[in-house]
Structure 1
Amino acid sequence: MRKVALITGSAKRIGRAVALHLAQSGWDLALHFHHSETEAAELKRELKHINSHGTYRLFQADLNHVPDAENLISNVISAFARLDLLVNNASVFQPGTIKETSTMMLQRNLQVNFVAPFILTREFANHADNGVIINLVDTRIKKNNSSHAAYSLSKKVLWELTKMSALELAPAFRVNAIAPGAVLPPEGKDDAYLNNLSERTPMKEAAGLKPVLQSLSYILENENLTGQVLFCDSGEQLL
C-alpha cells in the first residue's frame, strides 16, 4: 500500500518543493493550504503529471485557528485511511524586534509556528500506530538576533518540541528537524538579496532547495535517526 504524507503549507516555496519531491518518490499526498487555494490546485495538477498513479487531495485549514489544527489529522486519515509522514512546514515570518512585536504578532507566530505543529504531532500520535514527523525549523534556532523575535522564538521552541516528542513517542514515531538558512529569497526580495546573504556564510553561496530535499530523503531512509536537526544553511549556524 502506498504511503501517505501530510505537508502543511504545501502550496508555495519549501512546502511545494517537498510535495514535488515526495510525489516523485511515490508518496500519496495530503496538501494543506490556508489562503493559497489557486496555487494548491495548480500544484495538484502538476503532481498528477509527475506521477499519474498518485493520489493527491487538498485540505484547507487555518492553523491560527485551534479547531482547524485539531481536526486536520483526523480529516486526512478519514480521506486516506492512513498517515505515515507529517511535515510541519507552514509558518509565519514577520520582522520585528522584541520592542516592536505586538502581542497579536507574538501570538500569531507562536500559534502557527509552534502550537499548530504541537497539536498536529499530538493528534498524529493519538490516531496512528507509527510514523515519521519532520519539523521545518530555521538556522536562527542557534542565534539570538532579535530582528524577527517572535518568529525566531517560535522556531526555537519548535526545535525543543522536536527533541521532547522524539523521546516520548519513540520507538513508534521518529521526529526530526530540518533547519534551512537563506535557501529562497523572502517575499518581496530577489536572488540578489539571497546571494548577498549567502556571501556572508562559510560556503559563500546559496545552496537552494536541493540540500533541504536531500535532508528530507536522508531522514526518511535512516530508520534509526530521531531527535536530530539537519542544517541546510551553507554553514551559517557556525557564525
Structure 2
Amino acid sequence: MKGPTLAGPSSSLSGHCNEPPITPNEQIAAFRNEILAAIPEEYIERLEDQEALALVGRDAEIVALYLSRFWHFESPWWADEALRIVFASKLPATKAVETAFGRAADLRLRDKGQNKGQFLRQAWEDRAFFLVAVMREAGVSANEASHQAARWRDEFSVGAFTAKASTIEKEFPKWANDPLRGKVWCGQLSQETEGLTPAQKADLIQANKLRARILPPCPDGLRGNRRD
C-alpha cells in the first residue's frame, strides 16, 4: 500500500521513483518534523517558557509512529490513535494526519485493512513490552519483568490477549529495536531517565520495583518455557 509522499513505505521523501525506499525511521522522523514545523512560533515560545517543549516533541513522535503504522499495516485504527493524540495534545492536524484519516475512512467503507482484533493485539503487546522496558530501566531482572508483564497482560485484558512470560522475555528485544514497534518508546524512556539526578533515579527505581510487585505472582500457566 502506497501512502502520501511523506508516508508511503515504498516511496521516498520527495516522491521520486528512482530514489531509495523510505525506511520506517525516516518515515517517523518526517512525520514528526512536519508536525513540529506546523506549530506556531509564538506557541513554541510559550512552551519553552513552561519547559514543556520536550513533552510536545514526544507526543509528536508518537503520532508519527502511529501514522507510520497506519500505512505499513493498512490499519484505520492506528490512524484513529494518531488523531486522538493530535486532539488531546493540541498538536496541528497536518496534511499527513488529514490524508491518513481520509484514507482510513476509505478502508472502512470498503471493509479493507487490518481488523480490530489485530490492532488490539498490537496495542496490548505495546503495553506489556513497555512495562518490561520500565521495569528493566528500574533495575528489575528480565525474568521478573517478563513474569510481571505476563501477569498484568492477562489480568487487564481479561484473558483475551494473554502471552506467556517466556514469550515476552524472548520477544522483548525485537520489539524494543523495531522502529514500527517499540523503538520510539524505549528511546523516549532512556532520554527521560538520563536527565534524572542520582537521587531521582534511585526513587524511580524503588517506585518501579514496588509497582512490579503490586500484582500477585505469575501463575505457572503463564510462565511458559524459555527456549533460545
Structure whose residues are more often strand by fraction: 1
Shared fold per TM-score greater than 0.5: no
Asked which structure has the greater CA Rg, the reply is: 2
Structure whose residues are more often helix by fraction: 2
Q: Normalising to structure 1: TM-score of the pair? A: 0.28
Q: Normalising to structure 2: TM-score of the pair? A: 0.29
